[in-house]
């Protein structure tokens, strides 16, 4: 089983790497800096490190070339940023909005497009790590414009892609409020709990449920 994980050097991404290696998968870990994973790669030859900046113009193509045409059973678009924790409408930052869309929306789309032939060859799965904060119907607290809008756009990409490529399985996943650098110390879910649940959803995903939105506990979420 060949798996590609973006944003793989820490937090949720690093836990995905660890757990998929534990079940014998070949894991392609993608991050701008893979130094944190180097000791793991020395011990486990199933871990392939790709120090690639996917935000760059050539990044996705470089990744596709590095994979050498290998079929991809699972692409986890995990890379993401949250830049506007404390912002409100009166303090909007166009730069933060642009950056959020670049990383949270365009990067997953471009990575998926670059790897599409390998995904199709394997009839693979695309798992987009989204957020409940990207749900329009669940938004009762406002704020966080850049993050909310970019994750809502990622959700729409997930849905449209599932319609356009019905032979692939596609899913948007909310990992919970996770104790990572992004989630902070007050978060209620451990990385281990989150990733264990997300992996179960991915493993059990049926074609009839492609294009849906789930949290890490397996509950379907409203867009």
Find, among 74, 199, 143, 84, the residue nearest to 218 by Cα.
Answer: 199
For residue 129, the tally of other CB atoms under 10 A from its CB is 26
Taking the complete model, does pTM exceed 0.85, yes or no? yes
Report if residue 177 sits inside a domain.
Answer: yes
Whether residue 223 is contained in a domain is answered as: no
The residues, any chain, with a CB within 8 Å of residue 136's CB and separated by 6 or more, are: 152, 223
Running DSSP on this structure, what letter comes out for residue 104?
A: I
pLDDT at 164: 99
Q: Can you give the pLDDT at residue 140?
A: 92
Please confirm, yes or no, whether 147 is among the known catalytic residues: yes
CA dist 74 and 76 (Å) reads 6
Q: What is the chain's alpha carbon radius of gyration, rounded to the nearest angstrom?
A: 16
Q: Is position 125 within any domain?
A: yes
Q: Note the pLDDT of residue 183.
A: 66
What per-residue confidence (pLDDT) applies to 77? Answer: 99
Q: How far apart are CA 20 and CA 97, in angstroms?
A: 33
Q: How far apart are CA 172 and CA 213, in angstroms?
A: 5
Q: Decide if 222 is inside a domain.
A: no
CATH code of 190's domain: 3.40.50.720
**For residue 36, is it within any domain?**
yes
pLDDT tens-digit series, residues 73-129: 999 999 999 998 767 788 888 999 999 999 999 999 999 999 999 999 999 999 999
Q: Annotated catalytic residue: which of 20, 82, 145, 147?
A: 147
Distance CA 18, CA 39 (A): 12
* Arithmetic mean of pLDDT over the chain: 95
What is the domain extent for residue 8?
Answer: 2-215
> Is residue 149 assigned to a domain?
yes
Q: Which residues of 108-126 are buried (b: 16+ CB within 10 A; e: fewer)?
A: bbbbbebbbebbeebebbb
The answer as to whether 220 is a domain residue is no
In a domain? residue 139: yes
3-class SS of residue 69:
coil
* 161 vs 150: CA distance, rounded Å: 16
Domain count, the chain: 1
């Amino acid at each position: 089983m060949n798996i590609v994980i973006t944003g793989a050097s820490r937090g949720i991404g690093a836990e995905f790497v660890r757990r998929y290696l534990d079940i014998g998968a070949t894991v392609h870990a993608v991050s701008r800096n893979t130094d944190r994973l180097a000791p793991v790669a020395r011990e486990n030859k199933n871990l392939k490190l790709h120090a690639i900046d996917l935000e760059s113009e050539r990044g996705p193509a470089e990744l596709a070339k590095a994979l050498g045409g290998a079929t991809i059973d699972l692409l986890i678009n995990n890379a993401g940023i949250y830049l506007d924790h404390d912002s409100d409408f009166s303090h909007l930052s166009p730069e933060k909005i642009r950056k959020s869309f670049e990383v949270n929306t365009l990067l997953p789309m471009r990575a998926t497009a670059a790897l599409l032939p390998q995904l199709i060859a394997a009839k693979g799965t695309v798992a987009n790590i989204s957020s409940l904060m990207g749900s329009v119907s669940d938004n009762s607290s406002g704020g966080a414009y850049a993050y909310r809008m970019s994750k809502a756009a990622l959700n729409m990409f997930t849905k449209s892609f599932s319609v356009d490529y019905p032979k692939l399985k596609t899913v948007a996943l909310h990992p919970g409020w996770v104790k990572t650098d992004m989630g902070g110390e007050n978060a209620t879910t451990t990385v281990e709990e989150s990733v264990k649940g997300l992996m179960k959803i991915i493993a059990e995903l049926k074609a009839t449920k492609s294009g849906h939105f789930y949290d890490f506990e397996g509950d379907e979420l409203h867009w």
